[in-house]
Chain A
């Protein structure tokens, strides 16, 4: 179990080597890979998806992290093609609050409902990644980067979520969910105040 928890953390380390990589193919992938990681709202929401899957266990532990990238890719395509979408930032922030809250409240719907909830929010995250595609960057490589980074954040969430198997682990996990929801509320406040 310890290896399972640590592995996703190590997978993130290659990002540190980007300073020494050649420009071109890697820069598109690297830019995409860093995109979800450098946004605190994305990071919190992705971790929450993994944490919730681990909390729910059963089918949810794999249904949530495999549904999210698929739905997110639809949002990304919409963003890249310039399809108009309203309230993207609000949708992303709402995902942080809602996903943090369901973890904190130990809300346990069936896997289908949980997947639907996560899928709705995935559209907003994907749209944001797609709409912020840097110019002169390969869209394919950029998208591959953010899909992989997103999945790794899910894996980190699942790994940390295995804390539920430890004594008082569920309390720790629910506290983490509350912290994520609180951070989401702060982010929402900043959006409402225009900061």
Chain B
């Protein structure tokens, strides 16, 4: 199954290269909406933190398979769709808690069981999707292209990050991942405090 992830990472690289080909200045509006959707969750701070942590954490899986990435895609897409409908009560403090949890999993290099990993990925992806969906601009909210872009971005970018890290778990890379995980957890903690203060 490891070959599957590697092939997926290679496919991702090709897709990104192809997607980068059109000149942005000359794109039609609909293409811009699609690419905007693809990048949206990755440039919204709340969701980007979670997605980077999840993608890096997925690279720790010993039995590499595509299930976490499919779960992430479905969760993120569902979250974005829910987020577009309107604000979800008490969601924002929860986002902080989930960010801390995923950051800590990465910092401590914790590997969970298959079910545990899928569960954490699903919850975190939905939360990241809610953050990204709530932040989407009004003119793209009803666009299927935007959602398609979100879904494809949710699949290919984590796969690219994980694929790049998966076979390179050297001491230095592991140290880097631990440190980045602690940064994400620390930022999530601050985020949680702010959101909680706002909610109360």
Please indicate the chain B residues that have their CB under 8 angstroms from the CB of A179 in the complex: none
A: residues with CB less than 8 A from B are 4, 61-62, 65-70, 72-74, 76-77, 80-81, 139-141, 143-144, 147-148, 151, 154-155, 158
- Main secondary structure on A side of the interface with B: helix
Bound Cα distance A158, B176 (Å): 11
* B interface, over-half SS: helix
- What residue in chain A is nearest B185 (Cβ atoms)? A70
Q: Which of B16-24, B134-142, B187-195 contacts A (4 or more CB under 8 A)?
A: B187-195
Judged by a CB distance under 8 angstroms, whether B178 is at the interface is yes
Interfacial chain A residues near B182, Cβ < 8 Å = 65-70, 151
Bound form: Cα–Cα A151–B180 in Å? 8
B residues near A, CB below 8 A?
45, 107, 172, 174-175, 178-183, 185-187, 189-191, 193-194, 197
Known: A61-B175, A72-B186. 7 other contacts (CB 8 A): A65-B179, A70-B185, A73-B186, A77-B193, A140-B45, A151-B179, A151-B183
Q: Is the CB of B178 within 8 A of A147?
A: no
Which of A62, A73, A77 touches B179 (beta carbons < 8 Å)? A62
In the bound complex, residues from chain B placing their C-beta under 8 Å from that of A62 are 174-175, 178-179
Q: Are B189 and A73 in contact (CB under 8 A)?
A: yes
Instruction: Establish whether residues B187 and A143, one from each chain, have CB atoms under 8 Å apart when the complex forms.
Output: yes
Which one of A74, A147, A148, A155 has the highest number of Cβ atoms from chain B below 10 Å of its Cβ?
A147
Contact A144 B187 (CB under 8 A): yes
In the assembled complex, the CB of B47 is this many whole angstroms from the nearest CB of chain A, namely: 13
B179 lies within 8 A of A147 (CB): no
Distance in angstroms from A12 CB to nearest chain B CB is 15
Q: What residues of B have a CB within 8 angstroms of the CB of A4 in the complex?
A: 172
Give 25 A-B contacts (CB < 8 Å), ordered by A residue.
Answer: A62-B174, A62-B179, A65-B178, A65-B182, A66-B178, A66-B182, A67-B182, A69-B182, A70-B182, A70-B189, A72-B186, A73-B185, A77-B189, A77-B190, A81-B197, A140-B45, A140-B190, A143-B187, A144-B45, A147-B186, A147-B187, A151-B180, A151-B183, A155-B179, A158-B175
CB distance from B195 to the nearest CB of A (A): 9
A74 touches B189 (CB 8 A): yes
Query: Chain B nearest CB: distance from A100 CB in Å?
Result: 22
On chain B, the residues within 8 Å of A76 by CB distance are: 190
**The 7 nearest A-B residue pairs measured at CB:** A66-B182, A73-B186, A69-B186, A77-B193, A73-B189, A143-B190, A66-B107
How close is B53's CB to chain A, nearest CB, in angstroms?
13
> Given the complex of chains A and B, what is the CA–CA distance between A73 and B191 in angstroms?
10
Contacts of B181 in A (CB 8 A): 66
CA distance A66 to B183 in the complex (A): 8
Q: How far is the CA of A139 from the CA of B183 in the complex (A)?
A: 16
A7 smallest CB distance to B (angstroms): 9
